[in-house]
Amino acid sequence: MSQILRGAPVAQKILSEVTEYARQHKLRLDIILVGHHEASQIYVSHKLRQAEKVGIKAVLHHLPESTTTQELIGLIHHLNETPEVTGMIVQLPLPAHLSEEKVLDAIAPHKDADALHPANIGLLAQGRAKWAPATPWGIVEMLLHYNLPPARKHVVIVGRGRLVGTPLALLLSRPMAYGNATVTLCHTYTENLYSYTRQADILVVAVGRPHWFSAEGVKAGAVIIDVGIHREGGRLIGDVQPEALSLASAYTPVPGGVGPLTVACLLDNLRRLHQNLSQ
């Protein structure tokens, strides 16, 4: 039987540490949401509720769809200069007319709770990061919690997005206690994809397509991390087909796998931001 890697126990451990820290320090998370993207609104409401539960003040800035890039950057600059703001995030994706690159670059690196500013990605690449993008770090926390360290393993990541694939590849390849893996990063232009994925000891699928990845691409006994989450026919499903999961020695379920860790690690990033400023 495959081991099911549930995120809730790992998330609860992280949130307990954040709660204890928030009892002793005032923390504030500002979330900027532009427009009415349904999934984003659901994610943001969950972040707001969880922040309040652990004692973090959460402030939502919900801007209209018509907001311009300069107006959004103006708000970010204001929050950068507001001492009460510990950290902030801009909920992605943004409406198509906004420049995601300019917006993320405007966030002060020391208030960048998503760790997506170029300066923070640079530190991540050097193995010097004090906080990291939430979902990749949640995957690291899960692997370590279930005694599945990446060191000396071949990790194949399918998807090179800025939120998961690219930062995770950096994390797992660094000469750190949580890294030292051999990492292959696959993407849209990878030919013969399954010839790579069938070599994986740990396979991470983050492509954003429901039940897209099949059993044909899995080595028997691999650990599968399914990052996808999609609503289809009234239920939530991942990127990986159920038949593929049956070949794994361990896998993350959808829902209940990586999802709970994303919010937990985001809030833990706020703790890390505060600690960094206090040093």
pLDDT tens, residue by residue, 223-246 = 999 999 998 888 999 999 999 999
pLDDT for the residue 108: 98
The confidence band for 1, taking pLDDT boundaries of 50, 70 and 90, is: confident
| Average per-residue pLDDT for the chain | 96
Is 114 catalytic? The answer is yes
pLDDT for the residue 278: 80
The confidence band for 275, taking pLDDT boundaries of 50, 70 and 90, is: very high
279 pLDDT exceeds 80? no
**Side chain identity at 226, as an amino acid letter?**
D
Question: 245 near 3, Cβ under 8 Å?
Answer: no
- What residues does 33 pair with on adjacent strands? 62
Is 91 catalytic? The answer is yes
3-state secondary structure at position 210: coil
The confidence band for 87, taking pLDDT boundaries of 50, 70 and 90, is: very high
User: Residue 46 and residue 114: Cα distance in Å, rounded?
Assistant: 16
pLDDT for the residue 191: 97
Is 3 catalytic? The answer is no
- What residues does 168 pair with on adjacent strands? none
Residues 6+ apart with CB under 8 A from 278: none
43 pLDDT exceeds 80? yes
pLDDT for the residue 234: 86
All domains of the chain, ordered by start, with CATH?
25-108 (3.40.50.10860), 134-260 (3.40.50.720)
- Which candidate in 91, 111, 201, 219 is catalytic? 91
Question: 106 near 32, Cβ under 8 Å?
Answer: no
Give the global pTM.
Answer: 0.94
- Which candidate in 30, 111, 112, 114 is catalytic? 114
For the chain, the first-to-last Cα distance in angstroms comes to: 47
